[in-house]
């Protein structure tokens, strides 16, 4: 199954008040395994960057001023997303911004049924605990030492590791079918094993005692002095 883990950075908290999407990072998973295929883009928000937002992600309006508009890369983004389920941390926030940008670009919104939220998952798995990305990475032993500021692709990569752990860890997808397929590939890659002739059937060898052996055993037992099995209970 194909899934997209993604994160966004924005100019603020609410697209309804004019805040815009400025960065998106997406990581592809197939059967809960990272494929190494990603999508990452910065966007010119066509507005100023509030200091509070810049302090979070470090993206200044000077940096973003020569980046493309969302509409210029919307086709590329939609092609990458396809119809796969989309996983995000506090996913309603990210979906809200993407759908606001899609509306501005004259495109239909994403189906909210595709949304998977790791915050909601964490609340069920760890009620009463902290559910921030940092706190959950610490809980699951995921290294985030290189995360100085928020960044969409970096956070998506961390979230991909977290999502894999929260949904069963690294053993996901390692079923008998996969093992059989791996065994087949291993055999095909070994020409010596693949070309080895089948062994000829060999009749089982007789293993019962001979008459002479039985006679010697009888003599040995008869010579025993007060064997235990003759004692009265």
**CATH (one of 1.10.760.10, 2.40.128.20, 3.90.1180.10, 3.30.420.10) for 2-168:** 3.30.420.10
Predicted confidence band at 148 (pLDDT cuts at 50, 70, 90)? low
pLDDT at 174: 46
More confident: 37 or 232: 37
SS3 content of the chain, % helix, strand, coil (to 5): 45, 15, 40
pLDDT at 160: 97
pLDDT at 199: 65
Q: Of 89, 131, 150, 161, which is the active-site residue?
A: 150
Q: Which of 81-85, 223-227, 228-232 has the lowest mean pLDDT?
A: 228-232
pLDDT at 177: 43
| Mean pLDDT value across residues 218-223 | 80
Q: How far are the Cα atoms of 25, 177, 178, 187 from residue 184, in angstroms, in the given order?
A: 36, 11, 10, 5
pLDDT at 175: 45
pLDDT at 49: 98
Judge residue 40's burial from the number of C-beta atoms within 10 Å of its C-beta, 0-12 exposed, 13-18 middle, 19 or more buried. Answer: middle
What is the value of pTM for the model shown?
0.71
Active-site residue, 150 included:
yes
| Mean pLDDT value across residues 99-128 | 97
| Mean pLDDT value across residues 202-215 | 73
Instruction: Enter the DSSP assignment of 225.
Output: S
Predicted confidence band at 57 (pLDDT cuts at 50, 70, 90)? very high
Predicted confidence band at 202 (pLDDT cuts at 50, 70, 90)? low
Beta bridge partners of 121: none
């Amino acid at each position: 199954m194909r899934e997209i883990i993604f994160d966004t950075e924005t100019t603020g908290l609410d697209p309804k008040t004019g805040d815009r999407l400025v960065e998106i990072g997406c990581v592809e998973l197939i059967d809960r395994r990272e494929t190494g295929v990603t999508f990452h883009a910065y966007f010119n928000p066509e507005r100023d960057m509030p200091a509070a937002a810049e302090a979070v992600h470090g993206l200044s309006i000077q940096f973003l001023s020569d980046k493309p508009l969302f509409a210029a890369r919307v086709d590329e983004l939609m092609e990458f997303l396809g119809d796969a389920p989309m996983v995000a941390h506090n996913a309603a926030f990210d979906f809200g911004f993407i759908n606001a940008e899609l509306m501005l670009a004259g495109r239909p919104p994403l189906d909210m049924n595709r949304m998977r939220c790791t915050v909601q998952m964490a609340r069920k798995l760890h009620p009463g605990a902290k559910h921030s990305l940092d706190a959950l990475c610490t809980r699951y032993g995921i290294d985030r030492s290189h995360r100085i500021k928020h960044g969409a692709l970096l956070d998506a990569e961390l979230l991909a590791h977290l999502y894999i752990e929260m949904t069963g860890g690294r053993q996901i997808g390692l079923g008998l079918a996969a093992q059989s397929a791996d065994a087949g590939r291993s055999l095909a890659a070994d020409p010596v094993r693949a070309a080895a002739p089948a062994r000829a059937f060999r009749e089982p060898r007789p293993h019962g005692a001979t008459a002479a052996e039985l006679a010697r055993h009888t003599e040995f037992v008869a010579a025993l002095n007060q064997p235990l099995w003759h004692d009265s209970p």
